[in-house]
Amino acid sequence: MVSLEEYAQRYPRLTDAVIVLALLGGAVIGANLVGPGESRPQDVWVANVVTGIACLALFGARKRLRSAVVVTAVCAVVTGSLGFVLSPLLLAPLMVALYWLAAATDSRTTWAYGGVTTVLVVGTAVGVDLDAMVALRAFGPALWLLLPLAMGSGTRLRHAWLEAVQARAEHAERTREEEARLRVTEERMRIARDLHDVVAHHMAVANAQAGTAAHLLESDPKLTKKILTDLQATTSTVMLELRDTVGVLRHSGPDADSLEPAPGLAQLPDLLEVCRSAGLTVNLATEGEPRDLPPGIDLTAYRIIQEALTNATKYSASATAALRLRYSSTRLTITVTNDTRTDEQPRRGSAGYGIIGMRERAHAVGGDLRVSDSGAADFEVVTALPLHPHAPVPRSLTPQGTP
């Protein structure tokens, strides 16, 4: 449905014609109105002609606003000089011209033309007789002329505000694309650094192990077998790290914001402190003997905890969450629990990328992840990660010590 403003913009000529006819009819009525106890001024036809000229001056006046204001102001002064009461019906053409001027020009031009016009019209309405009614004769025309000036200025400011909002939106759209390209560049740099720091190191070790095994193959077969076993573990580790690093290419998001080395559970206190600063209290419990984890598993554990606590920050009803780390001989079980505020907590079957990303991270290192979706008050994320790359966790996750 087309609004009145849009219709006026599409058909300006027709709109101006309707306005002119309406103002002309009102001006004719205003010229023939007589107050109680007053006599009708002579030469009514002159007043009708003058007000008709004022109305016709508005036809197409949007391109000649200053000329329209001058013509309608002169017509209003002439009408008042003939003895007619300057009512809103007679001042309507001048009021429309002042409104258009205020809506389309700057404040200095608006109030310069408006101020001079108001003084002339009020002076004509007051006349030379300074009787007891002089204030009343001055107040009415002044009020009716200042009103369109104020309304037109408000319309101009509103349009300027809307244009500024639209400009900011367009600028944000352009900068969003630039930021996306910058993030891609930063992510490539981070991946290159990860490959250099992790994969290149393991490859150098594997090369040294292979060279040593070849050298000792005939002289010390037992030691050679041990070195080859270690070489197998080294190559498994480097394959895991390579898969985890290259997998980042498929997942863009907040993880690509930093060029610092990949985080791990050693940075967990800093993460909990960030959550506390965001208003979420995290109760940490550790079971078993903590130990150093392979870099890929360490990064995966950190990212899963980070995403789960992010969800808890958004949806926890009591602003508290429980984080439990359980170390066994073969795996690390991570449990993050929080009570939910509403049904907005993401569920396993939801289309949110956070849970999908956590599950894919866990699967990438041979682990598994389960998210509670029973509809109970508590929301729980449980993941089990292997402590060694060659010992994957079965897909049917039943972590010990978890409900």
Q: Where are the domains of the chain?
A: 4-170, 172-250, 263-386
Q: Which CATH class is domain 263-386?
A: alpha beta
Same topology for domains 172-250 and 263-386, yes or no?
no
Q: How far apart are CA 22 and CA 13, in angstroms?
A: 14
CATH of 172-250, one of 1.20.120, 2.40.160, 1.10.150, 1.20.5: 1.20.5
Mean pLDDT by 10 residues, the chain (403 residues): 61 75 79 62 76 80 82 86 80 87 86 87 76 71 87 88 86 80 74 59 66 80 81 73 64 47 81 71 90 86 85 76 92 89 52 71 86 70 83 50 38
Distance of alpha carbon 51 from alpha carbon 48, whole angstroms: 5
Q: ∠ CA 47-48-51 to the nearest 5 degrees? A: 80
The full DSSP string for 306-371 is HHHHHHHHHHBSSSEEEEEEEE-SSEEEEEEEEEBSSTTS--TTS--HHHHHHHHHHHHTT-EEEE
Q: Which residue reads 């449905």 in tokens?
A: 1
Contact 77, 120 (CB under 8 A): yes
Whole-angstrom Cα distance, residue 307 to residue 275?
Answer: 11
Question: Which one, of 200, 93, 203, 107, lies nearest residue 149 by Cα?
Answer: 107
Amino acid letter, residue 298: D
DSSP 192-217: HHHIIIIIHHHHHHHHHHHHHHHHHT
Q: Select from 13, 94, 89, 8 the least CA-distant residue to 53.
A: 94
